[in-house]
Amino acid sequence: MQIKDSTFLVTGGSLGIGKATAKLLIEKGGKVAITGRNKSRLEKAAKEIGAFPIHADAGKPEDIKKTYDEFLKEFKKLDCLINNAGIGGKWNQVFDLDLEDFMNVYSINVFGAALMAKYAANLFKKQNYGNIINVSSTAGTKGFANGTVYASSKFALRGMTQCWQAELRKYNVRVILVNPSEVLTAFGDDEGKERKEVSNKLRSYEIAHTIVSTLEMDDRGFVPEVTVWATNPF
């Protein structure tokens, strides 16, 4: 697709991977809306990068409807949904799992992503065109100790991606799964404090670059899944 003049909806765009992706899309001439729960952080980021802010929680169905209402009022049509919003939850072992934590994490990482995609898919079916990026994780390809809740939520996102690929290709919709390994963002920090950059670990920019590169491929082709590692993080 051509980024210039296309429209993008990025969930969780006030920090980290979402913000870096929105910024890169805007630099390439895309028209971009970003969402987030913390209003002041969202507005600050939107002003900084030139995005349209939509104050909304991707884990709340009523906010998802509001997101699309506000997006379509501003941009008229959607070319690409970037399902990026996600949280880690608690890092418990099997002995200490609790249902509330599953519900918190799944409401955003799984149910929120699914409902965001549902609205997008209905628009895309009508226009016979569209793109969805699902930001998953290497945690969604291999489990690890203390990872039950988060890893399983990302496995679910991977499974849903494959279902949507099977359902939407005939409408010229590309659904692309992106699996970053560790990226130095504010992920897991309630204050939104970003971790300090170090030269051998991934930055949000590498993931933004991956997302934009897969989108820039001519519409006749698409990358179903891509994983990004740091070359030498040790």
Ligand X SMILES: NC(=O)c1ccc[n+]([C@@H]2O[C@H](COP(=O)([O-])OP(=O)(O)OC[C@H]3O[C@@H](n4cnc5c(N)ncnc54)[C@H](OP(=O)(O)O)[C@@H]3O)[C@@H](O)[C@H]2O)c1
The residue within the footprint of ligand X, chosen from 53, 86, 130, 147 (CB under 6 A), is 86
The residue within the footprint of ligand X, chosen from 41, 125, 201, 209 (CB under 6 A), is 41
Indicate the residue among 41 and 125 with the shorter CB distance to ligand X: 41
Asked if 173 touches ligand X (CB under 6 A), the answer is no
Asked if 36 touches ligand X (CB under 6 A), the answer is yes
Indicate the residue among 14 and 152 with the shorter CB distance to ligand X: 14
Cα separation of 12 and 209, whole Å?
Answer: 17
Q: Which two tokens stand for residue 11?
A: 């969930």
Asked if 85 touches ligand X (CB under 6 A), the answer is yes
Rg of the chain in Å (alpha carbons)? 17
Asked if 148 touches ligand X (CB under 6 A), the answer is no
Asked if 131 touches ligand X (CB under 6 A), the answer is no
Q: Count Cα neighbours of 136 within 13 Å in the Cβ-side half-sphere.
A: 30
For this structure, is 205 an active site residue?
no
Asked if 17 touches ligand X (CB under 6 A), the answer is yes
Q: Is 144 exposed, middle or buried (0-12, 13-18, 19+ CB in 10 A)?
A: exposed
The residue within the footprint of ligand X, chosen from 6, 7, 21, 84 (CB under 6 A), is 84
What is the per-residue binding string for ligand X in 213-232, x denoting contact by CB under 6 A? --------------------
Indicate the residue among 150 and 219 with the shorter CB distance to ligand X: 150
Which chain residues interact with ligand X by CB under 6 A? 11-18, 35-38, 41, 57-59, 84-87, 108, 135, 137, 180, 182-183, 185-187
What residues are labeled active site? 150
